[in-house]
Amino acid sequence: MVSERKTLVQPAFTDRLLVKGREFTIVSGGRTLGTALCFWVRPCFCGADARAVRSGMILSTHAIVGGAIAYMLPSHPIVVAVAGFVSHFVIDAIPHWDYPLQAISVRKNADNRLLKADRRLWMDLLTIATDASAGFALAILLFYPSAPIWVIALGAAAGMLPDPLQFVHSLYKREPLVTLQRFHVWIHTKRKLNWQIGIVSQAAFAALVAATALVAKQ
Ligand SMILES: [Zn+2]
């Protein structure tokens, strides 16, 4: 019966998700791990949109936190880079919302070597570029000219860097990327908020961090 079902996740994945109507089955290493109905998962997990839940990331918040670190320590660019990079993992540990990507995956065993240059990939790249650009722009708007623009950009880039490194890991599974990916997946919250609460809480968190930095340095 399982073989008749439509495979909605690429074969490169260790776990396969077979979906038939509202019923889905998780298969790993040829063994069926379980079957359940899609009542408790979000709607896009069922049917044609199932591919959309393969991965997720949000960069603007990381950029603003990195920018805030740069604002606090404008004459210490190395500390800004290191602290911005570390801050990424601290933020990832907080329950949040990640926007779904259609083609690119940054999950634990993701393999993006088979990515095709199709519409889904271009949409992902456009989404990520918009997110990252918004992050840079907001960080600079908030913290320039109190800190040099390049230090703010450095902090923002360092704050976002671990996510693109997940993509690099999916292409080249070498150290230190393997260890970094293991740590990134481990520390990343397993609780995913719905998008409404996720967007509001994410904006509130970024605003709180920016306001705290701005007030603290007065
Ligand atoms: Zn991350």
For 115-142, the pLDDT digits (tens) are 878 888 898 899 999 999 999 999 999 9
Say if residue 133 is in the same domain as residue 33.
no
C-alpha 125 to ligand 1 mean position (Å): 17
Tell me, yes or no, whether 114 and 94 share the same domain. Answer: yes
User: How far apart, in whole angstroms, are the C-alpha atoms of residue 64 and residue 53?
Assistant: 25
Give the residues of the chain that fall short of pLDDT 50: 1-16, 20-24, 27-29, 31, 33-56
Where a domain ends, among 33, 50, 67?
Answer: 50
Do 153 and 197 share a domain, yes or no? yes
Q: How far is the CA of 74 from the centre of ligand 1 (A)?
A: 24
What's residue 138's pLDDT?
A: 95
Residue 210: phi and psi, rounded to 5, are: -65, -45
Q: How far is the CA of 119 from the centre of ligand 1 (A)?
A: 24
Q: Which residues pair with 96 in a beta bridge?
A: 192
Asked if 106 and 166 sit in the same domain, the reply is: yes
Burial 49-84 (b: 16+ CB within 10 A, else e): ebbbbbbbbbbbbbbbbbbbbbbbbbeebeebbebb
CA distance 148 to 175: 33
Residue 38 sits in which domain range? 2-50
Are residue 8 and residue 81 in the same domain, yes or no? no
> What is the Å distance from ligand 1's center to 116 Cα?
24
Structure tokens at 181: 């990916």
Question: Ligand 1 centroid to 56 CA: how many Å?
Answer: 9
Q: Ligand 1 center to residue 85 CA distance, Å?
A: 10
22 Cα–ligand 1 center, Å:
30
In the reported structure, the alpha carbon of residue 21 is separated from the centroid of ligand 1 by a whole-number distance in angstroms of 32
pLDDT at 17: 52
When divided into structural domains, the chain yields a total of 2
Task: Judge if 94 and 193 occupy the same domain.
Answer: yes
Task: Give me the pLDDT at residue 69, please.
Answer: 96
Distance from the CA of 213 to the center of ligand 1, in angstroms? 22
